[in-house]
Structure 1
Amino acid sequence: MSKWKIVADSGCDYRQLAQLAPDTEFVSVPLSIQIGDQTFVDDASLDIDQMVSVMQSTSEAATSACPSTQAYEEAFAGAENVIVVTITGGLSGSFNAARVARDMYLEEHPDAKIHLIDSLSAGGEMDLLVTEINRLIASGLEFEEVVSAITTYQEKSKLLFVLAKVDNLVKNGRLSKLVGAVVGLLNIRMVGEASSEGKLELLKKARGHKKSVTAAWEEMKKAGYKGGRIIMAHRNNDKFFQQFSDLVKETYPEASIEEVATSGLCSFYAEEGGLLMGYER
């Protein structure tokens, strides 16, 4: 039995964590993506390129399905302390599934401790939360201390997204068709954030790649960025990562900026060229 488990659904981009804290396991609980009659399970074996190509070649709305309560219960098994991070409840039922699973698990295992976090976010911000939980555990804190510290940390973390394609969000009714048409026709990038309620909120439209880099940087500074950690999860957009990193480092040369490939689920939401960037304020 391990002392700790960090459990995250696949709104987090990591499939495994580098430098895991001692006596700690990391478990990724996959969501699944349904495109027409095909189901793609967002685990380590998913061919994301193939999934995206199927998604782009169909006009049907693709949908995502949250993990089952059973999948969460299995993920909790065999640890004294469990910290769970889910994608925003505003986009998925994953948090609710985890909550039901926790209640059922604790009936059978009353000595276990399980703390649930609705990230109110996805992608890079979830990645930040997961790596911070790992760091807190490694520093030797007790369960309640980790919970208290990560709650404070979450208030200082944010998500900024830049999307070059929004077909999926339009097909799923998350964005209006009008906005979708504008993005497609005019080479517009949507720059937005996860709101405090965990909804995708548009901040500005930037025309073309170069302006989107500047717009993202402006929005981040406006939200209170002062040189903290950044994790940028992106779908095939090395150019943005490089140029944005250069921009940040002009002002904050010591800033830690990590690059991660988007999970299947985050590729589903961000689409080609999209990115979901978590940062510390």
Structure 2
Amino acid sequence: MNIKILADSACDLSMDYYNEFDIEMAPLTVHLDDKDYEDGKSIDPKTVYHAMRNGKTPKTSQASPRHFKAIFTSYAEANQPLVYLAFSSQLSGTYQTAKMIEQEVKEIYPEAPIHVIDTKCASLGCGLVVLHAAKLAKQGADLETIINSSRACALNMEHIFTVDDLEYLYRGGRVSRTAAFVGSLLKIKPILHVEDGKLIPLEKIRGSKKLFHRMLEIMEERGDDLSNQTIAISHGDDAERAEQLASMIKEKFHVKEVIIDMVGSAIGSHSGPGTIALFFLNNTNFQQPVQEE
């Protein structure tokens, strides 16, 4: 029986990938103008960015327990293996909710082949992990291989990103007041990364011209076999700069494939317009299985 991959909308993959690899989706919720929307389904990210540029502050909430209950139950009843690769538990309660519902479902279906994995990744960093797993599933890999290889992929995923205004991340509780304040001074552009699932300020760059060059230097320092990787770039409604960064990466590292997509409504509600995020692997050797914590 084929193994199904489940992702949540915070992986920021386009629907083309969901359709091509038959990936199941659990949407996070975006609250805007007193209405609730399903991220990736019933609201367009451009709507969120337009609202933020006009001073509005959208809120988000985790994927719904009811949605997880329906998905997990259907796969448990069919005894079909399901691997859910969750958005970082340090940035959302979605993973914890999924684990709670997994336990509930397994009280009724003790042998249900449902597996919930905290990727500790975000946006297309998580998306690349999901694609890695989905490709393995499509190739007919067994469950253990998919789980171990996905964990290894997630563990070695680098997130290097910048935002136009740290105030958005501060409002959402993702960075400190001090970090947000410092970033707003003297046209300083922050570079952040993800460490153990958390957003961590890495460097402050004065002037946007130096920004991409420094991001590429970090990529060169940390990346492994970059020319043979699929690199991903997500952006907060700034396709022009995302394409510019992609061209620089292709020229410098001779990368064959760069995925570019917009930061979705849920993550974009916290990172804001103008975000540029870069994702790549610091180790491409997944021969050693990664044990569950």
**TM bucket normalised to smaller:** 0.7 to 0.9
- 1:52 aligned to 35, 49, 54, which one? 49
Q: Which residue of 2 aligns with 1:238?
A: 239
Distance in 1 (CA, whole Å) between partners of 2:169 and 2:249 is 29
Once the two structures are superposed, the pairs formed by residues 74-113 of structure 1 within 5 Å of their partners are 74-76=70-72, 77-78=74-75, 80-113=80-113
Q: What is the CA–CA distance in structure 1 between the aligned matches of 2:41 and 2:236, rounded to whole Å?
A: 16
In 1, Cα distance between the equivalents of 2:71 and 2:206?
A: 43
Q: Secondary structure of the residue that 2:2 maps to in structure 1? A: strand
CA distance in 1, matches of 2:224, 2:203: 18
3-state SS, counterpart of residue 180 of structure 2: helix
Cα offsets for 1:51-98 (capped at 9, x unmatched): 233334447x64321122221122232451111122111111110001
Letter in 1 for 2:59: T
Instruction: Verify: 1:66 aligned to 2:62, yes or no.
Output: yes
> Which has the larger displacement, 113-122 or 184-193?
184-193
**Mapping of residues 128-139 of structure 1, within 5 Å:** 128-139=128-139
The whole-number CA distance in structure 2 between the counterparts of 1:266 and 1:125 is 12
The reply to whether residue 198 of structure 1 matches residue 197 of structure 2 is yes
How has the CA–CA distance of structure 1 residues 39 and 185 changed in structure 2, closer, same or farther, with 3 Å as cutoff? farther
The percent of aligned pairs where both chains have the same amino acid is 22
CA distance in 1, matches of 2:66, 2:263: 25
Q: Distance in 1 between matches of 2:33 and 2:206?
A: 32
**Residues of 1 paired with 2:148 and 2:106: CA distance?**
21
TM superposition shift of 1:250: 2.7
TM-score under structure 2 length normalisation: 0.84
| 1:26 to 2:43 alignment | no
Return 270-279 or 40-49, whichever deviates more.
40-49
Deviation at 1:45, TM superposition (A): 2.1
Greater helix share, structure number: 2
Q: d(CA) in 2 for partners of 1:189 and 1:214?
A: 13
Letter in 1 for 2:105: Y
Cα 1:92/1:68, change in 2 over 3 Å:
same
Is the contact between residue 122 and residue 276 of structure 1 (CA under 8 Å) also seen in structure 2? no
Distance 1:117 1:276 in 2: 23
* Unaligned ranges ≥5, structure 1: none
Q: Tell me the TM-score normalized by structure 1.
A: 0.88
Which stretch has the larger CA shift, 254-263 or 172-181?
172-181
Structure 1 vs Structure 2 CA RMSD: 2.3
Quick check: 259-268 or 74-83, which moved more? Answer: 74-83
Stretches of structure 2 that go unaligned for 5 or more consecutive residues are: 283-293
Report matched runs for 1:117-266 at 5 Å: 117-195=117-195, 197-227=196-226, 228-266=229-267
Q: Judging changes above 3 Å, is the alpha-carbon distance between structure 1 residues 48 and 151 closer, same or farther for their aligned structure 2 residues?
A: closer
Indicate how the Cα distance of structure 1 residues 15 and 6 shifts in structure 2: closer, same or farther if over 3 A, else same.
Answer: farther
Question: 1:53 is matched by which residue type in structure 2?
Answer: H
Superposition deviation, residue 19 in structure 1: 6.5
Inter-partner Cα distance in structure 2 for 1:6 and 1:148: 14
> Are the structure 2 counterparts of residues 109 and 277 from structure 1 closer, same or farther at C-alpha, using a change threshold of 3 Å?
farther
Q: Secondary structure at the residue paired with 1:110?
A: coil
Size of the alignment, in residue pairs? 275
After the TM superposition, list the runs of 4 or more consecutive aligned residues in structure 1 that deviate by more than 6 angstroms: none
One-letter identity of the residue aligned with 2:24: V
